[in-house]
Structure 1
Amino acid sequence: MHILIIGAAGMVGRKLTDRLVASGIGGKAVETLTLVDVVPPTAPAGFKGSAHTLTADLSQPGQSEKLVGARPDIIFHLAAIVSGEAEADFDKGYRINLDGTRFLFEAIRQEGLRSPYKPRLVFTSSIAVFGAPFADKIEDTFLSAPLTSYGTQKAIGELLLSDYSRKGFFDGIGIRLPTICIRPGKPNKAASGFFSNILREPLAGAEAVLPVDESVRHWHASPRAAVGFLLHAATLDLEKVGPRRNLSLPGLSATVGEQIEALRRVAGEKAVKLIRREPDAIIQKIVAGWPSDFNPARAVALGFRAESSFDDIIRVHIEDELGGKIG
């Protein structure tokens, strides 16, 4: 089996690669891995198959054709610039998040016109496709009406995915990821980054900045759960999904205050005292336009699973990133 991961140098892409190398997918071994990003991805250690690491920008004409020409069986499209950056740089957001996606989809269509080709395509969307006013819980039938450029770009990608799948050009599924928490590594430009920062840094003994009020509520899942979502989406019988190919995935709804209380239970008061309040009006405005709770009944019925407590999310980070120890 040949698997293409676009956005392979990112956190989720790296973790997905490691899981594929360790366990394969759907009971099958991975024979070929093609890892692509705008920065050089790292070749997987211990992989016995054929691995190709490439640097490419899908928003540049011709790049997608080169990748699709190798006819991968499964394509994970994870590449995007994050919410805060897409909002700050309108042109870059649409070039990367929309043009890059459309070029990929069209390259697959054109490849299939030459001779039959219909890969599974997993597209990472976002809960940012929804905009206020919100119900207490977002149901699977809730209107997609984003209030940010990032959310708009993802929503358009969802529509394209459904249409290209309907026409039989590929077998696509879009998964609306919750905010991934706790993200390892350094802070990025995502407006949602503070949800991870206020836990990750204190667990490592460092100070973190909280730019919003503790009453802010949001929808979360761990990096471990995110990888599980991707693998499940890649092997799911999409006849069971039907024509509505984009799913809101399971997660955990929690306020910032509840996050902090979970940190206190797991790591103690010393860690909590490392959180410094520093309000940021821009981040507050962006976050206020995001949904905070879901009823992802379709995804749950299809077998997608996430954590049920923030204590569990914190423990996943300690196990996977800190060697089981708090710094």
Structure 2
Amino acid sequence: MTAVHVTPTEGVDQPTVLPASRRDVVLSYIALTKPRIIELLLLTTVPVMFLAAQDVPPLWLVVATVVGGTLSAGSANALNCVVDADIDQLMRRTSRRPLPRHQVSTNGALYFGLALGVVSTVWLWTLVNPLSAMLALAANVFYVIGYTMILKRRTTQNIVWGGAAGCFPALIGWTAVTNELAWAPVVLFMVVFFWTPPHFWALAMRYREDYAAASVPMLPSVASSDEVSRQIVIYSWVMVATSLLLWPYTGWFYPAMAITLGIIFLIEAYDLRSRARDTEDLSIIKPMRLFHFSNAYLALLFVAAAIDPFVK
């Protein structure tokens, strides 16, 4: 995986910043792992461990799973930065990442990502269990090869299928506790799967010109806002319906929260649909409103799953 360096397009800020100290180098490598994305992944891992245990899981197991999951997600994100270095420098949203700014060498980022992948697999295999390790490795491989290398630049359905990689933490959290798969984590896997398109397409609407400049066929860059918002509403309904499939495995608290959060999400999705019907003006459409709420929705839904066993 060798990054192809493409001359930046006019109007895109492309500063070349060399690390001035050892601290800068360390921070640049940390930036490759995309910590903010990892935070969201961990929010779908730890609560599932509480649900699986129907109690407070052992602290050492939570720590081991979180560390292993962080290393695995960091590996996938760093390798994603290597493969996407050429288009990252064409997009305003990503042009300040370490590789476009030449803060980290391509080989350095590649070896770093591979090393994190090996360490995370060994860590989870040894300290958690082999099943969790294999699930984390599968998510890593699918994200880098399936999404980044195959789907992202070829189809408008890239994030629909490629987003499946971000669903694995729900499975990993469950198997870390039980060492087996079950229907409950599969339901939560599917919730994240159907949540990803509304979440990411709202963000991509905001940065649709970036994707167009990089020739990435993200749906908002090739379809009208009216069509994108229609698809968001469809996936939102499926997501909310799927979230209720966990009801037979919980008490009353989770379904009450799932219904409440689902209603609010659908209201936000329909509001976006209404604003996007007859305009392409982002100041009117305000897609980031749904994007920000989608983060809160997922976090609160999974926290509700974690709290449910304690509410009688």
Q: Could you state the TM-score of these two structures normalised by the residue count of structure 2? A: 0.31
**More helix per residue:** 2
Q: Which has the higher contact order (CA 8 A, sep 6+)?
A: 2
How high is the TM-score relative to the length of structure 1?
0.30
